Amino acid sequence: MPPKHTGPNRTLDILSSIGDQEFLGSEVMQNLRDHGLRVERIAISLIRPDAAQPRRVLPETIHRAFHNQEITPVQALKQYIEKVRIIARQKGRPFESLLDLLITGEESDEAVEITPPEQDLRDLTNLAVTLRSDGQVNPLTIVDRTTGAVPNYVIETGERRYWANYIDMEFIPGYQGDGTIPCIILPPGEASVFRQAKENTSRSGLNAIAMARQVALLILWVHDIEPPRSMISNDFYRQALEYDLRDKREYVPDVLSALGGLHKSQLRRYKALLNLSDEAMELADQHSIDEFKLRPVVQLPPEQHYEIVRQIVDFNLTSKDVRALCEEPPSDDREDTPGKIPSHARRFARSVLTGSDKEVQHIVWALVEAEGNPEVVRIRLESFMQSLDNYLRNL
């Protein structure tokens, strides 16, 4: 059971300060020793990422396979690289080696916006190159989970550095290291979901879905619910929908601070994203869709979530476009007997049935002028034609 709030945690303060250090000076090292902490080089093969980590470095399907111990770290990275290679090839930016990916990024037109999966792998490769040239100056924080003769550690902070080290070792030629990485080792009782949250939100930040998971972990923690040590499904995070912080007010400042200074209203909005279906959540996470675009999607039935998120990705919809799509009433809710037919409907019908190409062009331009986005017009017309077909079949 998590300990109750008893004031500032000195160990947490020390380790949080390390996240801002470019290197560990003698004063920081002495502080670590004074509090029973140590920095050691640990074989990377003895370390595992935390399955509950809100930020997904690997795509969801590969993440699940890895944490179910169906594939090794190297196999996971091979699948990840191949997935991004396919996306890049489809976009006309093929690459063979990861270093080619970096070169392609430097030579590409600045106006070309690469996909989030390409950008994530490029950033990870850049980190690996930096580790190769400068060394790892910021250690991982790992928790000792040893139960037998073989040491076993789980990452609390620094998972991206873990995967970057594997890229350096296995996918960039000329590795001359010994397969170890610097780590601060914590006993099991010193693990902190707050420290993990602070590192996640203070560096490159979390996308909306990752932030929703982070909010869930903190809320569940203050209600004495800790994640299992095996693979975690979205249903674990969704338990947070049943809880709030009203009866845990002593934790509110720490929770909001760990989330980068969120307001309570923002916390509630991120938590609401846990209502998304698994498929929609995975797609939104992969493409880092913003919370304000997903906000109206949550109000729809779960079976509609994925299709709307798919359209956000495919057509780069704005938040206004998404609201318009989500507010469109389904055909089943419309009246079958319209009563008196409005004159504008009759004019539109005549234009459709007898109109020339010029009149069709006028209708199209009027629709685009009214909506503002041709892709949204196309989607709305597809929905309209489906409704029209349904009515005609029932006549």
Which one, of 234, 161, 238, lies nearest residue 204 by Cα? 161
Q: Is 30 helix (H, G, I), strand (E, B) or coil?
A: helix
Rounded to whole angstroms, the Cα distance separating 209 from 333 reads: 31
pLDDT value of position 381? 80
Token pair 């845990």 is at which residue? 248
pLDDT value of position 11? 52
* Domains defined along the chain, listed by start: 37-191 (3.90.1530.30), 196-327 (1.10.10), 331-393 (no CATH)
Q: Could you please report the per-residue DSSP string of 237-286?
A: HHGGGG--STT-GGGHHHHHHHTTS--HHHHHHHHHGGGS-HHHHHHHHH
pLDDT value of position 2? 45
pLDDT value of position 107? 57
183 dihedral zone (left: phi>0; alpha: psi -120 to 50; beta): beta
Sign of CA dihedral 275, 280, 286, 289: negative
Query: Side chain identity at 28, as an amino acid letter?
Result: V
CB-based contact 165:181 (threshold 8 Å)? yes
Instruction: State if pTM tops 0.85.
Output: no
Residues 6+ apart with CB under 8 A from 340: none
Rounded to whole angstroms, the Cα distance separating 101 from 106 reads: 9
In tens digits, the chain (395 residues) has pLDDT values of 444 444 335 454 555 555 444 445 555 556 666 666 778 999 999 999 999 999 999 999 999 999 999 999 999 999 999 999 999 998 899 999 999 988 765 655 455 678 899 999 999 999 999 999 999 888 999 999 998 889 999 999 999 999 999 999 999 999 999 999 999 999 887 888 999 999 898 867 899 999 999 999 999 999 999 999 888 999 999 999 999 999 999 999 999 999 999 999 999 999 999 999 999 999 999 999 999 999 999 999 999 999 999 999 989 899 999 999 998 665 454 445 555 677 667 767 766 666 667 777 777 777 777 777 777 778 878 777 877 777 777 76
